[in-house]
Amino acid sequence: MKQFRKTIWEDGEYTYAAAYGFVPNVRGFLHEEDDTPRDAMLVVPGGGYCMLAAHEGEPVARAFYEQGMNVFVLTYTTDITMSVPLKDQPLRDVARAIRCLRANGEELRIAGKKLAVCGFSAGGHVAGSVTVHWDDVAETNPAYAGYSARPDASLLCYPVITAGPYTHEYSIQALLGTNPTAEEIDYYSLEKNVTADTPPTFLWQTATDTVVPVENSYFFAQACRAKGVPFAHFVFPSGFHGLGVGKGFDCPGWTDGSYVMEQVNNAVAAVKAGKGVNVSERRVAELKAQFPDKAPEPAEKEPTPPFEFRPDVTLKDDVGMWTELARVWFARL
């Protein structure tokens, strides 16, 4: 397996104010057995538009790599400080990533093959945004201007879809700020923007998701049906939010995927140094408590965290089958 990291924005192109030295990038995992072109999957981790969850990156990439694809993990713009609304930057990141992959298709051995995007939670909103708004993102760099940002298919996994009722409030706050306009709410309520040109979409979620209500995936599926867009929609009866591949997160022989936390680490360091961009005193205090310089002394009894990204192996026979269901669906497109 060949691994690489590629920055998707060139010098002077990326101007997000709260980047703190971070530039969005893709990490690639390519088959080297032969020169045969392969279908491609661009994986977009979630994290509430505040950070990126490593378990929704490489473990997912590995699942599709083992299906024979060449795979890529996108590390896009987020804001842990909740201080500089992201607006269209994540959408522009994913659109540029798709164009960048296509522009280098021969080298990456994906030329002429299908390229899908697969997003989780807020990453599902990023992937869903390019699914419905792919034609809105202008490309001024001549190296990429001739390539479409439209994915050939989208896989949206327990996705944030709507910016209205049933949304994930904090994701939309990080994206649009605390006072979004009605036009912004409509634009980023993805179910309102499905057209006949929307790519085929695979959705899955659990009925008991308490973080992103299951109505989100229903909204998008219903919109696809209304517009005649091919889709598959799976709602599993139980399971918490953030299940990832649904059957464990280990990736022997791969990296640990912690690189997706680069922007968060840079931002927290800047905030602690008093160099945060428009960060409120309250948020400074919260980040210092969340990311202490010194690990706290262990308690007599380890407290149980309110939520952990842990695989629930009891779900491997239903939720854990979603990647195989996706493989069959994708092969038929």
Q: Is residue 290 situated within a structural domain?
A: no
Q: Is residue 20 situated within a structural domain?
A: yes
Q: Is residue 274 situated within a structural domain?
A: no
- What letter does residue 237 receive in the DSSP assignment? S
Query: At 119, which CATH number?
Result: 3.40.50.1820
| pLDDT over 70 percentage in the chain | 94
Q: Is residue 60 situated within a structural domain?
A: yes
Structural domain range at position 228? 2-257+310-331
What pLDDT shows up at residue 307?
45
Q: Which of 190, 202, 203 is nearest to 153 (CA)?
A: 202
For residue 310, pLDDT over 60 is answered with: no
* Bigger pLDDT: 232 vs 247: 232
- Please state the rounded mean pLDDT for residues 18-45: 96
Task: Compute CA distances 275 → 21, 79, 177, 194, whole Å.
Answer: 12, 14, 20, 41
For residue 207, pLDDT over 90 is answered with: yes
For residue 306, pLDDT over 50 is answered with: no
CB of 56 closer than 8 Å to CB of 245: no
pLDDT tens digits, one per residue of 149-161: 999 999 999 999 9
CB of 158 closer than 8 Å to CB of 124: yes
- Please state the rounded mean pLDDT for residues 188-199: 98
Place of tokens 């540029």: 96
- Please state the rounded mean pLDDT for residues 42-49: 98
pLDDT tens digits, one per residue of 246-305: 987 788 889 999 999 999 999 999 999 999 999 999 999 999 999 999 766 665 555 544
Q: Is residue 204 situated within a structural domain?
A: yes
- What letter does residue 196 receive in the DSSP assignment? T
- Please state the rounded mean pLDDT for residues 73-88: 98
Tokens describing residue 298: 């262990």
pLDDT band with cut points at 50, 70 and 90 for residue 331: very high
C-alpha span between 26 and 262 (Å, rounded): 13
- Count Cα neighbours of 157 within 13 Å in the Cβ-side half-sphere: 29
Which residues 6+ apart lie within 8 Å of 245 measured at CB? 59, 60, 63, 311, 320, 322, 323
CB of 59 closer than 8 Å to CB of 118: no
- Please state the rounded mean pLDDT for residues 29-37: 93
C-alpha span between 61 and 108 (Å, rounded): 15
Q: Is residue 295 situated within a structural domain?
A: no
Domain count, the chain: 1
What pLDDT shows up at residue 85?
98
The torsion angles phi and psi of 145, rounded to 5 degrees, stand at: -65, -25
For residue 313, pLDDT over 70 is answered with: no
Q: Is residue 197 situated within a structural domain?
A: yes
Q: Which of 152, 4, 161, 19 is nearest to 93 (CA)?
A: 19
